[in-house]
Structure 1
């Protein structure tokens, strides 16, 4: 018997550890799949282009300048450039429309690095290639949130400077609103006067001016305001001044200019989502090597990177996803345009090959897409100089389209494989959990069948590691291995297919239920319909609930000593709530921290112990309540008492009650758990609570302490449910809640995405995280409630004395 009990306990602990491991693996896996950096290091570089049309390029980025405001009242100089001197269009950004990902898209051709979520979206956690790395020398001036991304840890060819972070003040009433932009322009003019002569004949020079004024003004005065337009016109005048000074200094017509923005802005001064005002920004290009045309030519934001590279002849950054907008380049040298496009094709093809290899399939053989791209590049490289340039241009463009589609395909294919492995892992765990809570005994299966099953899975594991040998992407074989192990454990549990139909519906409602049960059930059904608890306390409702419980204690409790103690606790709690007594110093905390000791003084006879639990938890709940929460707790306690009275009458009876989980019990667990969340103001209390709710414990703002107190308040009804569930039947009851929560988290796993606005990304992560972690928290509360209903200090004292007596007799 001892060994049998030991084995049961060991199996339970093993099951709990395995379940916790599965939850952690799935949570980590979903985040890893969706937010793993797409940046690939050590890709080959395409060659430098000879005879580039521009020696240097100046990039102006007006942060937060939306296209609609710009085009409705275009500033004077840039309007002249659009109509007479250069090319222009809309640069379409991709969500999230924020400064950091927008600047990276412009300067590196790389969309948002989703792994930046683990650093709060503040910086790119992985080093990436950019136009500054590929230039001969670069200078950058602007915001301290942007410039360090490119200068931190960079080579000696990148120089940058930023103004103090304190200057980024959104209060336009203090200081000049153009201060940020004027500092940047002054820095460039200083460079032109002091250092530019050293690089007068140097090629592949990039100068980056990040102008934050429009963004700051838009957030405060809004993008339709006079201040916003004035800031835009100020930038326009300074750009005209910069261009004139630059042309006068160099005098070689070898400078190209690009003006654009990283993101737009809504009418109310926000950005980050995907509205047209946020995703449409102006793009104006003029100077050396530019094809002047007076019509709109739209591009994707990442297309600006290969455009910069083509203008100065620099290699395209290795992780660039953009396509060179060749229409912006001068058509007088179509041969150079073809060379630049061919470089773009080669650079995209390098990414296609590497992403295909990361799938770890048939590494010795190329995919048909890869073969076709190699053939196209080989033919284009061998083309004679006499071939028609227009025909060659069409072939290169077709190749680039194939490369873009192939790159998207291999990235999506890799993600689908990861999600498939995670789904198999999770389905295996759900299967094990189902059989655990169903209490079904597995039939005796022929040992030969089990041995065959084991051999098959061993062969699968060996095959996985052989096929993934030499694969650089170690994540794929690891997830595949875990999926195999999870499937193996599940299949050993379901060798007999008919076992899935063992659990049947027995009954939904109890027969011969008491009237109190029916009335309390109707009352509980009303609470989820009530409005969410407001931050302003309704003192009269709280005092009324204390009065009701006091009357119940006075009428129902037999022991005069215990009756006096309970009434004293209730009166003290009421005086604290009406602030007749200041409980912050020690009284409120004493009531809270002595609650378990108070409960343990009650008999372990289940009816009395549940009464003690209800009265013990009531006072702390009152001190944290603002409205009808105590009444919900009172009615819930009365309702649950109807369940417990029809079940076991002692702890010993409970401990022998190990029946399999039934559908009725599963419905109870789900119903009451949801009722606890939506009957007391719901989970919104955590994110929208008012500090006044915890005023009887702490008034100095302390987010961590306040959060724990509100979490305790939400947990108190669940603890009551957990204690009562120990008398309702199976000890596996709340594992059913875990099963249903895990089943819900499986489809939510596919809605987690690294694309879209930060709100979309954050909401998807939140839904999945809550679905996978909340059931675990509920089960944890269920097991933590076990000591409340079973612990007895008197029995502990008896066992201690017994042990001392035995030792004394042995000594004698």
Structure 2
């Protein structure tokens, strides 16, 4: 069985990793020749200003007094340049946003997952193609484009990472630091001849990364005074920098300016998903080579976020975020970034028609180069008779379009040339997608075969080892034939040879060869399959078929709950009627409590997922309820005549103190941040001590089932309160109370069956060395128990939020621990917040297994099958079309279910540790009861 679990874990890791090879592979190719426009560019230098986290509507709208929030930028729109909306893609995060702006392609999720700090450049970018680049801003962003750039021509000036403090009194200093350092830089350049000559070269880029707006948005929300005042500060700073550059270069009118943002932000201060407030970012361009404002008489704004700006008279020209890179390359005359998939927005260019046509021709050739390299790479590793080329863009059609476009340019028929180049670009992009997803169907079929095979084998193992369904049907045990083994070995050798001659990556071998041993293991159990079929035909069971139909319906409800959280509410209400389908409704002692708690828990999935406003009083209320429960337990202990009552009282008082300190830390930190006094050190120290002690204190409690579970609840709640911002603080408390009632109900259910159950719940103790002789065979009711566990785990997933969406993560929930930006530490804390309800459910399930005398292995196998069936649903529901939000959500659902299966092993081990391990203080008497 140990070998089975190890193999099962490895198999699920393979299934989990497969989705990244199928959908999350890098789109980058290498080996293209650089392409640039032969005509002289309009600008000698370019200034790229990125206001991190700036929403389009926040910049363009008017303030409460009716004045423009950014008067300088609005003046540019009306008198000097062009404007529009830059549409971003998900994930709307800083790294992929800047890569799209400066490199011109949308970075794959696997690259985003590599981290944020000290990332080497693995792609070409505008900064790499420039003659010189000077950049100022956050070290996380600047290092992405500086490290790995060819030569020594990208210079960075960044502040210390500790300056990115969400709890700081004034985070606008992140932007004023950039503006002040640029002023000092140009002042010093006047007295430095070497630097002065470099600054007067052609193809120079200045990159300003302004992080203050994003930091204020996270800390105070985009509707706050701090966020809006920061926009005014940036507007004034940009005005000063423009004036400084004009003075330094003597108004030579050879400087192009671009002002934009990497992503927006929701009203509740998050970003990462596909809400319009996150994907609509401002784009304003002016200076050398940029078209002047164009007056229009009638311009309709259909976007809800874009009304009331009073810009209807000035032509709005929207672009995709990746289009910014080719625009910048065209303005200063550098080769287009090699990996760019952006399309040059010619409507922004103030130049001759010949220059526009030549630039579009260069853009088309640059993207076509990527297509040709991608096609060659795929053709080289595919057998000739199996290779299917992209038919819409054959070699002859490529040459024909290029020849016609060049001919139109020579004939000065520039509009036709631009049209042909656009057609070639779109066909090349389609072809890139075609070859990028060339192996997707083949890999998907192999993963599907492995999935179905594994679920079948696990089901057969349950029937064979943990049930009596096939007993007495066939007494003769037949060994698998050698022909079966030889057949599967032959299949494996042929598959490996097929992959070898195509030079496939090693991961392909894993995905394609894994189904071979799995299906061999399934067919080896043909005797079990035969016995099962015979048993069902000989002894038909309406109950068995009914349970299977109910299970199938329940799994569909779970799958739907990933899309519609209210399905969990419906499921919990149905659960309230479960006792009435059995004899429990006449004898159960806790029926009223069960229904009350189920209805209470059913409220949470109906609450808003994101956009929650902080409500510290609800957090305080949850803490008070925990204290009241602890007080009730303490009073009950005082009335008992337990010889260890003093030790137990001391432990409960210690946990009550921990709860009080958590409430104080949350309240104090909230007030301190409101007053912009930062995170007090004492609050930070207390929070970390409480978090660390929450793992240890339960191990000091007695191993009595109810006492240990209550101790785990109180310690977990102390940590959870520190990570809560509102109503979610009540969720683990209600969930745990339901778990207590569930334990009692399951034992009462067992007492109604034929299985003898002598012990009461109050007298059962957790034990590390469980007597396996007390385990029994599976019965039909155990299918329901396994399903209940999966349902409660999914409820823990989506009870207070949708963890498939990045928007559900609120950075403010970790402010009791740290406010300085640290993505990995913050991510770890938020993950632990998610895990706490899981741990409570798993600990309760340990108790259910103990009270119902059921082997954890058999129940775990059933849970494994249920989760694998759900994963198979999401594998079919994964899509690579539609909006980027739909694609990302469909993949994240699959990843969540696969993680649930893998993490379940870890959670089961953690639950066993918390329930069975006992720490003894120095001098404490030993007792098997504690």
TM-score by length of 1: 0.73
Tell me which residue corresponds to 2:328. Answer: 308
Tell me which residue corresponds to 1:186. Answer: 183
Tell me which residue corresponds to 2:598. Answer: 528
The separation in 1 between residues aligned to 2:793 and 2:161, in whole angstroms, is 46
| 1:732 paired to 2:858 | yes
In the TM superposition, residue 305 of structure 1 has moved relative to its aligned partner by 0.7
The separation in 1 between residues aligned to 2:275 and 2:418, in whole angstroms, is 35
In the TM superposition, residue 436 of structure 1 has moved relative to its aligned partner by 0.5
Tell me which residue corresponds to 1:741. Answer: 867
| 1:339 paired to 2:358 | yes
Residue 156 (structure 1) aligned to one of 152, 156, 160: 152
Tell me which residue corresponds to 2:845. Answer: 718
1:535–1:594 distance in 2 versus 1, CA, 3 Å: closer
1:190–1:408 distance in 2 versus 1, CA, 3 Å: farther
Tell me which residue corresponds to 1:58. Answer: 46
In the TM superposition, residue 109 of structure 1 has moved relative to its aligned partner by 0.5
1:242–1:670 distance in 2 versus 1, CA, 3 Å: same
The separation in 1 between residues aligned to 2:786 and 2:37, in whole angstroms, is 69
| 1:462 paired to 2:468 | no
Residue 425 (structure 2) aligned to one of 400, 424, 429: 400
1:274-673 alignment to 2 at 5 Å?
274-292=274-292, 294=294, 295-334=315-354, 336-356=355-375, 357=377, 362=382, 364=384, 367-369=388-390, 372=393, 374-382=395-403, 383-384=406-407, 386-387=410-411, 388-415=413-440, 417-439=442-464, 444=478, 447=481, 450=484, 453-454=487-488, 457-458=491-492, 460-469=494-503, 471=504, 473-493=505-525, 501=533, 506=543, 518-520=588-590, 524-530=594-600, 534-537=622-625, 541=629, 567-569=642-644, 572-574=647-649, 576-577=651-652, 592=699, 595=702, 614=705, 617=708, 620=711, 624=715, 633=740, 636-637=743-744, 640=747, 643=750, 646-647=754-755, 655=773, 659=777, 661-671=778-788
| Contact in 2 for aligned 1:140/1:161 (Cα 8 Å) | yes
| Contact in 2 for aligned 1:303/1:323 (Cα 8 Å) | yes
The separation in 1 between residues aligned to 2:750 and 2:799, in whole angstroms, is 24
In the TM superposition, residue 369 of structure 1 has moved relative to its aligned partner by 2.6
In the TM superposition, residue 464 of structure 1 has moved relative to its aligned partner by 3.2
The SS at the match of 1:263 is coil
The separation in 1 between residues aligned to 2:395 and 2:255, in whole angstroms, is 35
Deviations 1:248-290 (A, max 9, x none): 17x4x54433333323344565544433343223333344444
Range with greater deviation from structure 2 (101-110 or 459-468): 459-468
In the TM superposition, residue 26 of structure 1 has moved relative to its aligned partner by 2.2
The SS at the match of 1:732 is helix
1:203–1:376 distance in 2 versus 1, CA, 3 Å: farther
Q: CA RMSD in A?
A: 5.1
In the TM superposition, residue 593 of structure 1 has moved relative to its aligned partner by 5.0
Residue 142 (structure 1) aligned to one of 133, 137, 140: 137
| Contact in 1 for aligned 2:590/2:744 (Cα 8 Å) | no
1:214–1:658 distance in 2 versus 1, CA, 3 Å: closer
The separation in 1 between residues aligned to 2:109 and 2:581, in whole angstroms, is 56
In the TM superposition, residue 141 of structure 1 has moved relative to its aligned partner by 2.2
The separation in 2 between residues aligned to 1:410 and 1:579, in whole angstroms, is 62
Residue 45 (structure 1) aligned to one of 21, 33, 46: 33
Tell me which residue corresponds to 2:680. Answer: none
Tell me which residue corresponds to 1:231. Answer: 233
Tell me which residue corresponds to 2:59. Answer: 70
| Contact in 1 for aligned 2:648/2:701 (Cα 8 Å) | no
| Contact in 2 for aligned 1:54/1:254 (Cα 8 Å) | yes
The separation in 2 between residues aligned to 1:666 and 1:467, in whole angstroms, is 47
The separation in 1 between residues aligned to 2:655 and 2:7, in whole angstroms, is 52
Range with greater deviation from structure 2 (382-391 or 649-658): 649-658
The separation in 2 between residues aligned to 1:35 and 1:740, in whole angstroms, is 26
The separation in 2 between residues aligned to 1:669 and 1:213, in whole angstroms, is 49
Deviations 1:189-239 (A, max 9, x none): 247534564247744332223334544565658468562453243134224
| Contact in 2 for aligned 1:61/1:209 (Cα 8 Å) | yes
In the TM superposition, residue 16 of structure 1 has moved relative to its aligned partner by 2.5
The separation in 1 between residues aligned to 2:31 and 2:655, in whole angstroms, is 73
The SS at the match of 2:95 is helix
Unaligned runs of 5+ in 1: 1-11, 555-563, 597-612, 692-701, 789-812
Q: Which has the larger radius of gyration?
A: 1
Deviations 1:487-526 (A, max 9, x none): 4443444599867756655567999979996445665454
The separation in 1 between residues aligned to 2:174 and 2:420, in whole angstroms, is 50
Residue 129 (structure 1) aligned to one of 124, 131, 139: 124
| Contact in 2 for aligned 1:38/1:113 (Cα 8 Å) | yes
Range with greater deviation from structure 2 (162-171 or 96-105): 162-171
The separation in 2 between residues aligned to 1:77 and 1:678, in whole angstroms, is 50
The SS at the match of 2:206 is strand
The separation in 1 between residues aligned to 2:97 and 2:363, in whole angstroms, is 21
TM-score by length of 2: 0.65
Aligned length in residues: 725
1:389–1:736 distance in 2 versus 1, CA, 3 Å: same
The SS at the match of 1:464 is helix
The separation in 2 between residues aligned to 1:144 and 1:434, in whole angstroms, is 52
The separation in 1 between residues aligned to 2:56 and 2:399, in whole angstroms, is 41
1:623–1:144 distance in 2 versus 1, CA, 3 Å: closer
Range with greater deviation from structure 2 (487-496 or 292-301): 487-496
The SS at the match of 2:343 is coil
Residue 896 (structure 2) aligned to one of 751, 762, 767: 767
1:151-230 alignment to 2 at 5 Å?
151-154=146-149, 155-168=151-164, 171=168, 173=170, 179-187=176-184, 189-190=186-187, 193=190, 194=192, 195=194, 197-199=196-198, 202-216=201-215, 220=220, 222=222, 225=225, 227-230=229-232
| Contact in 1 for aligned 2:849/2:856 (Cα 8 Å) | no
1:632–1:18 distance in 2 versus 1, CA, 3 Å: closer
Unaligned runs of 5+ in 2: 62-67, 295-314, 465-469, 548-578, 605-620, 659-689, 718-732, 759-768, 804-808, 815-827, 918-930
The separation in 2 between residues aligned to 1:499 and 1:310, in whole angstroms, is 73
The separation in 2 between residues aligned to 1:80 and 1:465, in whole angstroms, is 62
1:456–1:202 distance in 2 versus 1, CA, 3 Å: same
1:485–1:188 distance in 2 versus 1, CA, 3 Å: farther
